[in-house]
Amino acid sequence: PKAVFICQGCGARQLRWAGRCPSCGAWNTLVETLEQRESSKAAAGQRSLGSSVSPVPLSSISDIQQQRLQLHFAECNRVFGGGIVPGSVTLIGGDPGIGKSTLLLQMCGQLATTVGPVLYVTAEESAQQVKLRAERVQVASPRLLVLPETDVDRVIEHIISLLGAPHTSLCLVVIDSIQSVSTADLESSAGTVGQVRECAQRLVEFAKQRYLPIILVGHVTKEGAVAGPRVLEHMVDAVLYLEGERLSNYRILRGVKNRFGSTDEIGLFEMQDRGLIEVEDASSALFSLGHAASPGTIAALILEGTRPLVVEVQALAAPAAYGPPRRQANGYDINRLLVLLAVLNRRAGLPVQTHDIYVKVVGGVRLTEPAADLPVALAIASSLINRTIAPHIAAAGEVGLVGELRPVRQLDRRLSEAARLGFRRVLIPDERRGYTSGTFELAQQGLCVDRVGWLVDALAAASLITARRDTPIDDRSTVAIQPVRVDVSLGDEDEESED
């Protein structure tokens, strides 16, 4: 094969790299790619005609559900969808220093102790540096093999030799990281688009052929996405992100793509001196009823995959002294925050247009589902009015543009979690078709479920405004609708009518 540069916009081939494509004029679209010669293509076509792979009935294919590699970390098993699937390729990304290598080294130590040999390929650190981290996290298994290598072809050769050695059967391979390995077939340096794509493609093909699970570590850009070509996330079977604030002790392993499980699951870990420790009761760690109640704080009932969580939402409203008011959100979508502020101003009459608004989700959790709208709106109103919401109140609901509250999914799970943590009152949307019999059973057991249909009703139920307004939607606006006098001409006479 020979290396050429192909434009990702128009597909033109160039022999050398250039900042601008001569064909279409696009900038930074030429990517180095390996291209087979005509003789190689013909030979590959002949080999494909005589392939030994034949169609098999679906019922005769072995079930991989019972063959998953089970980890001691139940949080990791949850995110992986029940364990690591043999032959799968997983990409784990995260900010520098967030704990990716630490978590993977602990996973490798557990599998090497209970299942079989594990190969840890370190392309960024030396074997001595990996040894120091292993001593810190108390990993000392003789079946954990460390390979400091940056050439992907040599890595594959070492794996083949280990698979063919007697009494050696690798159960997992970790590449740390995919941006640090390269192949000699391309002249570009490691980390470029062509190198990352070619190395990942070879590892994916090898994993499928040998039925060997491989985990790739990926660097992230300043936008939070994995560095390299976007096709890298399409080639792998699962994409996981390790999130969290560097100054916080909690880390969240979130799945954004998983061909063998749910993509909404998260795993919660706590960073300690001896590595990452899984947090079994995530809601108790993220929210405590014993905190000091203050304006702008409320508990939100959210759902991450199949796990209900109770997180603390904080908001701060301060008068805008200079210039236009600022809006800042940490753990919540800023565009959704702007919509909520418009609804609060138009439907509830709150003067948010003259205040700086700051929203924060405690614990580094990122709220993505619509059920977080109502808790965020209540926290903003509480801080703006400077009135405290009772600490035993939790909320969940989606806020519409006209101020109505829409139902959310799996309310039974959310209410059960709230009752387990000791909450006595929950504000939820009033839409009967979104509830099941379990909800009413919880209400009879002592959990007061307050169903509200409009945002102003939720504000009144939380004691943030004086009274409810049980009026039609046309009268819920803060702007009074005044009759307009219009002059119309009817024949020879002018009559004045009122609309």
pLDDT, tens digit (0-9, with 9 covering 90-100), for 180-191: 999 988 877 888
pLDDT, tens digit (0-9, with 9 covering 90-100), for 244-258: 877 778 888 988 899
Q: Give the position of tokens 């061909």.
A: 259
Peptide bond into 177 cis (omega under 30): yes
Tokens representing 185 are 């077939």
CB atoms near residue 340 (< 10 Å):
22
- Sign for the CA dihedral angle at 229, 231, 233, 236 comes to negative
Comparing CA positions, the residue from 293, 317, 435 lying closest to residue 377 is 317
Averaged pLDDT for residues 32-37:
68
Judge contact between 179 and 227, C-beta under 8 A: yes
Judge contact between 411 and 303, C-beta under 8 A: no
Comparing CA positions, the residue from 155, 150, 159, 153 lying closest to residue 177 is 150
Please give the full DSSP string across 287-348, using - where no structure is assigned: --TTSPP-TTEEEEEEEETTEEEEEEEEEEEEE--SSSPPEEEESB-HHHHHHHHHHHHHHS
Q: Give the position of tokens 């995260």.
A: 94
Q: Which secondary-structure segment (H or E) carries 275?
A: strand 275-278
Please tell me the predicted confidence (pLDDT) of residue 470.
47
* Spatial distance between the Cα atoms of 423 and 308, rounded to a whole number of angstroms: 14
* Spatial distance between the Cα atoms of 181 and 155, rounded to a whole number of angstroms: 9
Please tell me the predicted confidence (pLDDT) of residue 497.
46
b/e 290-312 (16+ beta carbons within 10 angstroms → b): eeeeebbbbbbbbbbbebbbbbb
* Spatial distance between the Cα atoms of 67 and 84, rounded to a whole number of angstroms: 9
pLDDT, tens digit (0-9, with 9 covering 90-100), for 192-205: 888 888 899 999 99
Please give the full DSSP string across 121-155, using - where no structure is assigned: EESSS-HHHHHHHHHHTT---TTEEEE---BHHHH
Please tell me the predicted confidence (pLDDT) of residue 389.
92
* 52 confidence band (pLDDT: 50, 70, 90): low
Judge contact between 71 and 83, C-beta under 8 A: yes
- Residues in contact with 315: Cβ distance below 8 Å, sequence separation at least 6, in sequence order: 296, 297, 357, 358, 359, 360, 376, 379, 380, 382, 383
Please tell me the predicted confidence (pLDDT) of residue 1.
67
Judge contact between 277 and 76, C-beta under 8 A: no
* 487 confidence band (pLDDT: 50, 70, 90): very low
Please tell me the predicted confidence (pLDDT) of residue 195.
87
b/e 399-436 (16+ beta carbons within 10 angstroms → b): bbeebbbbbbeebebbbbbbbebebebbbbbbbeebbe
Judge contact between 181 and 202, C-beta under 8 A: no
The total number of residues shown for the chain amounts to: 499
Strands 118-122 and 144-147: parallel
Q: Give the position of tokens 């009074």.
A: 480
* Spatial distance between the Cα atoms of 85 and 202, rounded to a whole number of angstroms: 19
pLDDT, tens digit (0-9, with 9 covering 90-100), for 271-299: 888 889 988 888 888 776 555 678 999 99
3-state secondary structure of 403: coil
Please tell me the predicted confidence (pLDDT) of residue 169.
80
3-state secondary structure of 453: coil
Across the chain, mean pLDDT equals 82
Please tell me the predicted confidence (pLDDT) of residue 65.
57
Strands 13-14 and 2-7: antiparallel
Please tell me the predicted confidence (pLDDT) of residue 467.
55
Please tell me the predicted confidence (pLDDT) of residue 352.
92
* Spatial distance between the Cα atoms of 400 and 405, rounded to a whole number of angstroms: 6
Q: Give the position of tokens 């280990």.
A: 162
Tokens representing 105 are 């080294």
Judge contact between 426 and 449, C-beta under 8 A: yes
* Spatial distance between the Cα atoms of 91 and 209, rounded to a whole number of angstroms: 18
Q: With the CA atoms of 63, 64, 65 and 71 taken in that order, what torsion angle do they form, in degrees rounded to the nearest 10? A: 160
* Geometric angle at alpha carbon 365, from 360 and 369, rounded to 5°: 90
- Across 430-484, the runs of DSSP E, i.e. the strands, are 448-452
pLDDT, tens digit (0-9, with 9 covering 90-100), for 80-96: 988 999 999 999 998 88
Averaged pLDDT for residues 360-380:
90
User: Which position has the higher pLDDT, 45 or 411?
Assistant: 411
User: Which position has the higher pLDDT, 479 or 493?
Assistant: 493
- Residues in contact with 344: Cβ distance below 8 Å, sequence separation at least 6, in sequence order: 350, 352, 377, 380, 381, 455
* DSSP 8-state class, residue 80: H
